[in-house]
A and B are shown apart, each in its own frame.
Chain A
């Protein structure tokens, strides 16, 4: 049995705040996400998939427009007769105004099945000797540990679990904790395969024998700093013995590429441009990509931090979007020189030494970060330089 899995399309929503995307690029990115979804659907046709599994967050409820709904109806309708199973997530949950709702008036193609209950329900496909068991998130999302108790598993050769949930131990801090589950809990459910949505990076879940029992496909298009790299759809094959074989195909139209470039020692803008250019190139960025350049290190005396954007403008124009984060660049202090033991014990050295002592006495990364920040603010204050706040995200 062959399936295509993708999720977390978040149609309609493009944050891009951290990337500093202007409105026109946001609009373009929205279109790209739709193209990514079309590509994922095309994948199902090309691979003669028996079904398409979408474990949630097809769109963002608050950004949904009638055009997006029409697009989805059209795209999914084009997949006929391939059945499409949707388990609404916490961003396309069932709530007033949801196009999934029967009262919405949206007429979904007959090949589309949307799970509408906040408890697990099953749909059987006798022709495939297969069942799909899914659940829908309601308004604020379900936060119960639903997998801690046994979910009714239909009597079928292949049983698929479809839901939008949080795998413990892997949850990014900004993600809501919806339907949390442990690998052990998922294993104990005994489903042949679990198609899971919520996390935006591809990851497989295996049991103790190394057998694949589930996977996140991740989002289909990167939109933020935490969604770097290839964004894929899964093409999966479940064998008669229940073995699961997954492969990924990039469907994202653009990648978010993040690269750190140290500018320590770059004595001229030309040198700085070259370093940034090399950094972006080595990160594999393509012209259509969104690039996040984090400048680190110390800026050489004579270079103006605020002029960097202008200096990098030409380089940046070679890519769809480049965001340059200058907030991690430190003034050109020779900390090592300041730390040299001096009988005169000058204030600056003593200040640096004291901060370094504090840094050495803690393992707390946040504290170290704060001390580093304080170090440069203190030195800037002593040197009568502007006290510039830095980005902390």
Chain B
């Protein structure tokens, strides 16, 4: 492409200007500073590419307004150019925002075939890329003093990151990116680890809360069971209460009945005692009970002995009477039988019947013998009765002696001559009465021991009344258990119920605690977990996106540098040799690190020495070499890229300036358009008469 001319109706400080850029000539525009050289460069750029539609970061003025003429009026440029064998006229009115491309031969408007950025269309270099590659300013070239390394500047050129950082810095930034978590800026991976740890912790907390709640479920079942048991037990206790009341009522009523009987008995005893009071101190006041018992025993013995004696006497008399009676009863038959036998014997003798006589004699003998036996036995029985009687009399006498002694002990006068029977009779009676008195007295005491007092009796009555009211119409069963037995059972049931109550309370406390703990912590923990999971997704995606961006950026940067390294290795070294013959063999590696050979010393300056060993001027020359190499490489691959050099040799000494200038004029091919602008008129004036200058340079002023 060749920019043939530019007509400026109004652009910044330039008004109604026309500049020609003849073919095969290096256009050298020389004028003082502040005459509009940079504005002319901007006008060429605006004519070719238009203005960016977006303001750059930090700028408040739109790019199109930067060069709006201060005095108003037209804001227009017209550019004529040749590209691809065709010639075009490009008219831009920035006031009206119009853009027209005409075919210079036909004058036909062919704008529709183009975008507003003709550098992009013709050169495949969008405005910014064209500007970055082909518009070289001396100010940029000499910026190395303020730049960290030359390599970074070169990298910025080939990567197109003039207004941004290079790939390496960007990769470092992606690598070192931080994520804010819990107030700290940490690496995403660290944040992920921490968040995962916290998630695990929260999940564990939730798991534990759930597990405890499930366990509490079992407790609830147990609680349900215990409550059921307690209800049953309480029902049983109520039943026992009812049974107890009935039983107690029955008992109370019985006790009342007993008490009433006792009270009656008590009255009777008192009456009886009053009746026997005369015997209270008889026979002796101080006789103890044992003595009285013994005396009564003695008296009873005497009575018995006397009875035995009487019995023995009676028996003796009876035996005697029996004997007499038997004798009377048997004496007549035996006598009659003996007479008969005697008569028979006599008769037999008389008749001489000896057998009859013998039989009668034998009969008589038998009768006599039987009579003898009878008499003997009667005598024996009487003797036996007499012996028995004698013994009874002796026994009686012995006992009577003892009785007399006992009676004397009791203070009753008696001796052998006394009518013991009578004494005994009267004493025994009194003694019986006395003993009866004492028994009654004892019974009274015993009764009084259990006899309820009025208050107790009233209490029983009251209890009976209350129980009756409670029991109501219930019937007291015929056979019911003792209240004590019921109460014992009831007590056991109550104890069991109380124990169940404690277990229930304990379970309720436990369940309540678990549920309360669950409710206190679950929601908050779940929310924390959700937040953490969201945070994890966020940081995870951040990490992944950073990694992906880094991966792609690294890949792209590597390819880009590799490609540019090849280009620069081909083209930059020869240019450098022209600009500065002290150096040659400029070699770039894939990272755009480079080495350069110092000709005089034949020393290769290694990439790590570049910044320290090279002079600022040498760095400037390397930079310019690279810029020009880039332009030439792009031109070689397609449409020639017009190069605009704005005082690029500003920092070069005269010798290097001459070398540089002559390289541009003499070495760059004639079909490669170069437009140079400078304020150093004197530097160029000395070449104006040179043939190479006259042949190849088109010198113009800004006017």
Decide: A354 and B133 in contact? CB cutoff 8 A: no
Who on chain A is nearest to B518 by CB?
A: A62
Decide: B217 and A344 in contact? CB cutoff 8 A: no
User: Which A190-204 residues have a C-beta within 8 angstroms of B?
Assistant: none
Decide: B519 and A370 in contact? CB cutoff 8 A: no
User: Is A319's CB within 8 Å of the partner chain B?
Assistant: no
Decide: B522 and A375 in contact? CB cutoff 8 A: no
With a cutoff of 8 Å between Cβ atoms, the chain B residues found around residue A17 in the complex are 527, 530-531, 534
Report the stretch among B52-60, B89-97, B402-410 that lies at the interface.
Answer: B52-60
User: Which A82-117 residues have a C-beta within 8 angstroms of B?
Assistant: 95-97, 101-103
Q: Chain B nearest CB: distance from A37 CB in Å? A: 19
Indicate which residue in B177, B541, B544, B637 contacts A387 across the interface (CB closer than 8 Å).
Answer: B177
Decide: A382 and B634 in contact? CB cutoff 8 A: no
Q: Chain B nearest CB: distance from A127 CB in Å? A: 33
Decide: B537 and A62 in contact? CB cutoff 8 A: no
Q: Chain B nearest CB: distance from A358 CB in Å? A: 7
Report the stretch among A150-158, A212-220, A333-341 that lies at the interface.
Answer: A333-341
User: Is B104's CB within 8 Å of the partner chain A?
Assistant: no
Assembly CA distance A101 to B219 (angstroms): 13
Q: Chain A nearest CB: distance from B194 CB in Å? A: 15
Who on chain B is nearest to A387 by CB?
A: B177
Decide: B557 and A387 in contact? CB cutoff 8 A: no
User: Is B552's CB within 8 Å of the partner chain A?
Assistant: yes
Count of B residues near A, CB < 8 Å?
A: 79
Decide: A343 and B124 in contact? CB cutoff 8 A: yes
Indicate which residue in A13, A332, A350 contacts B54 across the interface (CB closer than 8 Å).
Answer: A332
Assembly CA distance A348 to B163 (angstroms): 11
User: DSSP class of B's interface residues: helix, strand, loop or mixed?
Assistant: helix
With a cutoff of 8 Å between Cβ atoms, the chain B residues found around residue A332 in the complex are 54
Render B501-535 as a binary contact track against A, CB cut-off 8 A, 1 for contact.
00000000001101100110011001100110010
Decide: B538 and A390 in contact? CB cutoff 8 A: yes
Render A350-377 as a binary contact track against B, CB cut-off 8 A, 1 for contact.
1100110010000000000111011101
Assembly CA distance A351 to B558 (angstroms): 11
Indicate which residue in B174, B512, B523 contacts A381 across the interface (CB closer than 8 Å).
Answer: B174
With a cutoff of 8 Å between Cβ atoms, the chain B residues found around residue A302 in the complex are 55, 60
With a cutoff of 8 Å between Cβ atoms, the chain B residues found around residue A102 in the complex are 224
Q: Chain A nearest CB: distance from B181 CB in Å? A: 10
User: Is A389's CB within 8 Å of the partner chain B?
Assistant: yes
Decide: A342 and B125 in contact? CB cutoff 8 A: yes
User: Is B69's CB within 8 Å of the partner chain A?
Assistant: no
User: Is A393's CB within 8 Å of the partner chain B?
Assistant: yes
User: Which B126-140 residues have a C-beta within 8 angstroms of A?
Assistant: 126, 128-130, 132-133
Centre residue among A354, A355, A378 by max chain B CB count within 10 A: A378
Decide: B534 and A393 in contact? CB cutoff 8 A: yes
Q: Chain A nearest CB: distance from B136 CB in Å? A: 14
With a cutoff of 8 Å between Cβ atoms, the chain A residues found around residue B272 in the complex are none
Assembly CA distance A347 to B560 (angstroms): 7
Who on chain A is nearest to B641 by CB?
A: A343
Indicate which residue in A343, A348, A349 contacts B164 across the interface (CB closer than 8 Å).
Answer: A348
Who on chain A is nearest to B530 by CB?
A: A17
Centre residue among A140, A337, A341 by max chain B CB count within 10 A: A337
Who on chain A is nearest to B227 by CB?
A: A103
Q: A63-B519, A102-B224, A387-B546 are in contact. Are A347 and B133 (CB under 8 A)?
A: no
Q: Chain A nearest CB: distance from B254 CB in Å? A: 46
Q: A381-B174, A384-B165, A392-B541 are in contact. Are A346 and B160 (CB under 8 A)?
A: yes
Decide: B174 and A101 in contact? CB cutoff 8 A: no
Render B289-318 as a binary contact track against A, CB cut-off 8 A, 1 for contact.
000000000000000000000000000000
Q: A63-B523, A96-B511, A301-B54 are in contact. Are A342 and B120 (CB under 8 A)?
A: yes
Decide: B164 and A345 in contact? CB cutoff 8 A: no
User: Which B639-663 residues have a C-beta within 8 angstroms of A?
Assistant: none
User: Is B161's CB within 8 Å of the partner chain A?
Assistant: yes
Decide: B559 and A140 in contact? CB cutoff 8 A: no
User: Which A2-25 residues have a C-beta within 8 angstroms of B?
Assistant: 13, 15, 17-18
Q: Chain B nearest CB: distance from A372 CB in Å? A: 9
User: Is A246's CB within 8 Å of the partner chain B?
Assistant: no
B residues in contact (CB < 8 Å) with A: 54-60, 117, 120, 123-126, 128-130, 132-133, 159-161, 163-167, 169-171, 173-174, 177, 179, 210, 213-214, 216-217, 219-220, 223-224, 227, 511-512, 514-515, 518-519, 522-523, 526-527, 530-531, 534, 537-539, 541-542, 544-546, 548-550, 552-553, 555-557, 559-560, 563, 630, 634, 637-638
Instruction: Show 17 A/B contacts (Cβ-Cβ < 8 Å), sorted by A.
Output: A13-B523, A95-B214, A301-B54, A334-B54, A341-B124, A347-B160, A351-B553, A354-B555, A370-B544, A373-B541, A373-B545, A381-B165, A382-B161, A383-B57, A383-B165, A384-B164, A390-B542
A residues in contact (CB < 8 Å) with B: 13, 15, 17-18, 60-64, 95-97, 101-103, 138-140, 301-302, 332, 334, 337, 340-351, 354-355, 358, 369-371, 373-375, 377-378, 381-384, 387, 389-393
